[in-house]
A and B are shown apart, each in its own frame.
Chain A
């Protein structure tokens, strides 16, 4: 099982807390999926959203506050400080957005913000593209978890670049890797786990499903299946068909 900084993770499904039809449905989705880490966004609900927070807090989840909607180092760092105070955790999912349409991370600002926050004792979970060199820089400045995107946030496109994700896994065997964003179907999540990823973070695919609770369960099962598949050591693909029962000696009339 994965270890995020000094915390052992037993369930690799991490869920966001936005966009659900109601807090009651959100709660049921967490319950049925067994997800134990919830990302929470500070920007909108701050201050007067106490009722929603106490509801989330009552669910006994580990909270991963994020800096969603930040476009600069300064904004992201300020939001991280506020989040640390409000949620009393060193964890921060660092998002620095670089492009309004694709919500693509801004890699340069991301590294800078990650450096500032890591130096100040934060345990940073950077939301990043799948670039290998960027990953290297983030580890260099102190990140011990990496969260490459599968596809743009909320797009549901799945794993856009399996090769890049595989490469990250191969180059960072000891850093926990989480696919964050872009997951649309349980099979996308299973695929990421089959690649050896440690966890999956998603929100829209569950919250905007016709039946969010059922979809949360589907993701939980798919992630378990994918993880088991990876641990079991998948066969290699080959071009030549290889029958599982010998053909020689069969009646050929």
Chain B
């Protein structure tokens, strides 16, 4: 069996790997060479945190997201199992209570437990939630390993146009808006900082009533700060306001962030459907996987498995909302 995957972002690479590992002959097409800054998954946080996401996401995200860490570990070996911390300043205790009431699989931690988990945050923050079953990865490392795995199976990403008479899995993200009219863009802005003096080992979400922030460690003193959520398809610039908010929140979490070197500024647009849940759509010879929103790394494995099941066993995927052959 032969299948073409178009789009080599996180969705396309996961599907290509899953299919290839199940013996399907795959070709991968992208107008750019993957992985790279043209795909929004390049700019992602890489948190595999289904329970934390439950604060705003609906049930399928949590359920399907719990499968992500083991998939990524199997295919890339890049997963860090360290859980996630959700913290707030003392003033914002109620925000933390709300977060706790909207999520599960967590336990409360006081300043002593926080000091044990993250010694560098000792004293600054007095209360938080610990989600010990969650994980994270470095998206760029993970994507590169997916590309390597494919290459070792003889699948190399090509810039050639896909053929029209072969089943095509369309993972182009927001570019597929040319066909999927209900797709929209949600802008995200992020920063990558370097601060070797600061040692934080797991993702930290710092809740603030106005500017929620997460920080994901990338190792060697590098931290990803994210991310804004703006109803806009503009991917051209970060605003001063967004940068100010991200940096102020980081500074509030730990004043040492003020001394960081700013390595990168990232801006991109997440593809999303109106309910912010992903979809699998079949239109003739084209199978669309799209709308992963802010859950690319969390949901791409489940979508890849569903897609492979559908192609190999015709099992109807739960997120398929359209099927015209």
Contact = CB atoms under 8 A, between A and B. Distances in A.
A and B co-occur in one complex: yes
Interface of A: 21-25, 27, 44-45, 47-52, 55, 154, 208, 210
Interface residues of B, number: 21
Contacts of B230: 44-45, 49
B234 A21 contact: no
A196 B214 CA distance: 44
Given A47-B234, A51-B184, A21 B276 contact: yes
A47 B269 CA distance: 14
Nearest to A41: B231
B231 A45 contact: yes
A48 B185 contact: yes
A86 B91 CA distance: 38
B179 interface: no
Nearest to B184: A51
A50 B232 CA distance: 7
A27 B273 CA distance: 13
A208 B232 CA distance: 21
A24 to B, nearest CB: 4
B184 A55 contact: yes
A48 B183 CA distance: 14
B274 A22 contact: yes
A44 B232 contact: yes
A154 B209 CA distance: 9
Nearest to A24: B275
A44 B231 contact: yes
Contact of A49 (B98, B102, B232, B272): B232
Contact of B234 (A25, A48, A210): A48
B319 to A, nearest CB: 14
Given A52-B232, A55-B184, 20 more contacts: A21-B56, A22-B276, A22-B277, A23-B275, A23-B276, A27-B274, A47-B232, A47-B234, A48-B185, A48-B187, A49-B230, A49-B231, A49-B233, A51-B184, A52-B184, A55-B274, A154-B209, A208-B98, A210-B101, A210-B102
B57 interface: yes
Contacts of A24: 274-276
